[in-house]
Amino acid sequence: MSEVRLIPYHVEEIVDELTNVPRGVKMIEAPDVWDQADKGEGNVVAVIDTGCQMAHPDLKDQIIDGRNFTTDYNSDENNYSDNNGHGTHVAGTIAAVGTSNGIAGVAPKSKLLVLKVLTQQGSGRMAWIIEAIRYAVDWEGPKGEKVRVISMSLGGPQGTDELHDAVKYAVENNVSVVCAAGNEGDDNEGTEEFSYPGAYNEVIQVGAMDFKRKLARFTNTNDEIDLVAPGVNILSTFPDNRYAKLSGTSMATPHVSGALALLNNISQKEFNRNLTEVELYAQLVKRTIPLGYTKRGVGNGLLTLAIQDKMKNLFQPYTELWENEIKHDVGILSTQRS
């Protein structure tokens, strides 16, 4: 039977002293758009991973529902606790509430649907992944909530038709699917490394950068990379009410998943309607900046949520000058005609 595993990651440090807003969240400029986006309120992100520590102080109020698809806990589907650590870390980057003694995620008012598909050892059956994707799309919360984003920091060397069909089912139902690119990179943009489901065209595939805006040595490169986000020494929640710094494209992925929750709210206000998955993806890539790497390395570039506001402010004096000139010309024309 096909097996999917956690994309390899590295625990850099268990942290006791905290910064309320981690560097990764700041680097993608999430706090700069929190007011516009209501911090992601009203959005549900499905985290398909190793589960989550349900009682963690920064996450306990963010979890709206969950399910265990694995054989852990005697296959009890109601026990989706994290016995690995990876899923709790991913969940915190997306939606940690930001208590005074904790940290804030990218979208700290969004909710999490926790779907445990990987065991304590970090492995899972392909069938569990497929079932969880379809479950996330069909799930409905107690107040009619629906999943807007699926976040998956997992992968395998080969895909299947059934996995691809599940991904397409999600996208067709306007659920964005965000996946890690993988950590098999050889620090050479000229070679390609693929991990599935990340390499499917329908997926938003995320590579990793460090805080110096350098491409992480381990990140996979291929012609399906959509964008990159912070993935080295990322501070987030960890089991036993702790916090840790981890590295991997697994850590870059939830930055993008949380960002989509923010952008969904911003876009709804701008367009006065719900956007399709394709339209929301367009809003995402508009908020990236190039870094001097090839498309195979970084796709559209580094996620930078406030870039449009910065551009607007930069060109505002020229816009006002142009508008004043138009008004002046119209005034002259009106005088001449009268």
Name the token pair of 92: 């915190």
Paired with 124 in beta bridges are 4
pLDDT tens column, 17-41: 556 899 999 999 999 999 999 999 9
Q: What's the mean pLDDT in 327-336?
A: 57
At residue 197 the predicted structure's pLDDT band, cuts being 50, 70 and 90, is very high
Is this model's pTM higher than 0.75 or not? Answer: yes
**Of 250, 255, 257, 267, which one is the catalytic site residue?**
250
DSSP result, 245-272: EEESHHHHHHHHHHHHHHHHHHHHHHHT
Compute the average pLDDT of residues 295-317: 83
Which whole number is the average pLDDT over 74-95? 98
Look up residue 117 and give its two tokens.
């598909």
Residue 322 has pLDDT above 70, yes or no: no
Cα torsion angle, 78, 10, 261, 91, sign: positive
Whether 32 is catalytic is no
**Cβ 259 vs Cβ 302: under 8 Å:** no
pLDDT at residue number 6 = 74
- pLDDT at position 330 is 54
The ranges assigned to domains in the chain are 3-305, 307-338
Task: Give the DSSP letter string of 222-239.
Answer: -TTEEEEEE-SSEEEEET
The domain defined by 3-305 folds into Rossmann fold (3.40.50)
- Tell me which H or E stretch contains 177: strand 176-180
The token pair at 42 is: 């009203």
Give CA–CA dist 248/9, Å, rounded: 5
Helix, strand, coil % over all residues of the chain, rounded to 5: 35, 20, 40
Contacts of 300 (CB under 8 A, 6+ apart): 226, 227, 285, 288
Question: What share of the chain in percent tops pLDDT 70?
Answer: 88
Task: Quote the percentage of the chain above a pLDDT of 90.
Answer: 83
Amino acid 101: pLDDT: 78
Among candidate residues 49, 58, 72, 226, the one labeled active-site is: 49
Out of 136-140, 146-150, 308-312, which region has the weakest mean confidence (pLDDT)? 308-312
Does residue 86 carry a catalytic annotation?
Answer: yes
- Model confidence pLDDT, tens digit, residues 268-279: 999 999 999 999
Q: Is 236 a catalytic residue?
A: no
User: CA distances (Å), 236 to each of 86, 144, 198, 219, 220, in order?
Assistant: 10, 29, 22, 20, 23
In angstroms, rounded to a whole number, what is the distance separating the alpha carbons of residues 148 and 106?
Answer: 15
Alpha helices in the chain (DSSP H): 23-27, 34-37, 86-95, 126-138, 161-172, 249-271, 277-285, 295-298, 307-337
Predicted confidence at residue 311, as pLDDT, reads 67
pLDDT in the model for residue 319 = 54
Region for 42 from its dihedrals, namely left if φ exceeds 0, alpha if ψ lies in -120 to 50, beta otherwise: left
Section 159-164 average pLDDT = 96
Q: For residue 5, list its beta bridge partners.
A: 123, 155
Question: Catalytic residue among 86, 110, 153, 267, which?
Answer: 86
| Residue 1's pLDDT band (cuts 50, 70, 90) | very low
Q: Band the pLDDT of 308: cuts 50, 70, 90.
A: confident
Sign of the Cα torsion 95, 302, 169, 115 reads negative
